[in-house]
Amino acid sequence: MKFLSAIVTFENLHEVRRLCHWGPVIALSVIGICSTMAIFDSIIWYWPLDTTGGSVNFIMLLNWTVLILYNYFNAMFGGPGYIPLDWKPDSQQESQYLQFCRVCQGFKPPRSHHCRKCNRCVMKMDHHCPWINNCCGHQNHAYFTSFLILAPLGCSHAAIIFVMTMYTQLYERISFGWSTVKIDMSAPRRVQPLMPFSVPAFAATLFALGLALGTTIAVGMLFFIQMKVILRNKTSIEAWIEEKAKDRIQYYQTGEEFIFPYDLGGRWENFKQVFTWSGTPRGDGVQWPVHPKCHQHTLTIEQLKQKADKRVRSQVQYRAVEVYNGACCPVSKGLQTFFRTPCTEEPRIPLSKGDTILATRGTKWWMYGDKVLGEEQINAGERIRGWFPRRCVEKCHYDTAASDNTSEKKIN
């Protein structure tokens, strides 16, 4: 029991429910199919008990599977680390530099963000990953990135096994016209395979080969994206914040210089902030080492500036002219709206005629924004935001607030 708890630590038993999601189901299915078929094909192609090469091949294959699952489950169940509910800084003065989370009823420390899926503020949040059905953040960033490199390596090894198995089993049965292709198969052929390589086995191997190659390419690209931000000691969210900071400075011509505070100046130093021999990242998830020209709240102050700027030049008021039930792919709103639905887990918001929405971003067919609520809902901390079809709304040609002020002047 101690051994199992040392491998994966469950914060609560309800964490097991994370497996009941399409992301882990697909990910574990791919791992299971590729690993199982690679083991079977290894027995057919290169019997492990006959030669040293076969034994090494089989042990490496099992090693990949164990390491992949170890890092995958640690990333899923270990979690990113959550900010305690009702968290407040030690100094009351620091509160003015921090954003307040109305859901968690506490302040957000530097580098933390609220995840709508987890419904908690996450330490050094990078993103919410559907494949582990959890956030990637401070405590599980190293496990998640290790999984991203181990999965392509293991799938590459499995792909070689699949190709060699099909080659050796079909070489003498079908003439491919490969007269110049000659591979020495004397070692693998010393022992007759225990299982026949039938048509279903060939089809399963071909299917597993497709999964292995697809996983190698897709997950490999994700690994390079993650390493790019890790070597700069950033998260994906912070990279976006930095881009918006440059845009804000250029737009207003303030002349200020924004220095990303957590880049320690060297890739190795940044690398060591995430990867350690113990597996536990450096820091407590609240206080961070910063650039000499910065301080703990450099990034949070920039976030507050961007939030204020967003209210000024990003929000455009729209009024709903069609009813929308909040469906992910609404057929009744047109084929383009149906097929161009945003590929994101962000929510959709239902609309009724007359609803007012403050849009902050959008595409040609969809828009994202906050629904304008009543005072009671606002006081209760309620907030409704998400995607909705662009055809369901029309832009307001006047500002409600400005209109109210004008009417008050006329009355006076």
Inter-residue contact 132 to 141 (CB < 8 Å): no
Other beta carbons within 10 angstroms of residue 49's beta carbon come to 9
CA angle 258, 261, 267 (to 5 degrees): 115
116: nearest Cα among 349, 325, 308: 349
Phi and psi angles of residue 187, each rounded to the nearest 5 degrees, phi first: -70, -50
**Is 129 one of the annotated active-site residues of the chain?**
yes
Residue type, 337: T
Provide CB contacts within 8 A for 286, sequence distance 6+. Answer: 83, 109, 110, 123
| Measured CA distances, 304 to 97, 224, 236, 307, 408 (Å) | 8, 31, 18, 5, 32
CA angle 293, 298, 301 (to 5 degrees): 150
197: nearest Cα among 162, 146, 242, 158: 162
Annotated catalytic residue: which of 34, 104, 121, 129?
Answer: 129
Other beta carbons within 10 angstroms of residue 24's beta carbon come to 19
The catalytic residues are 129
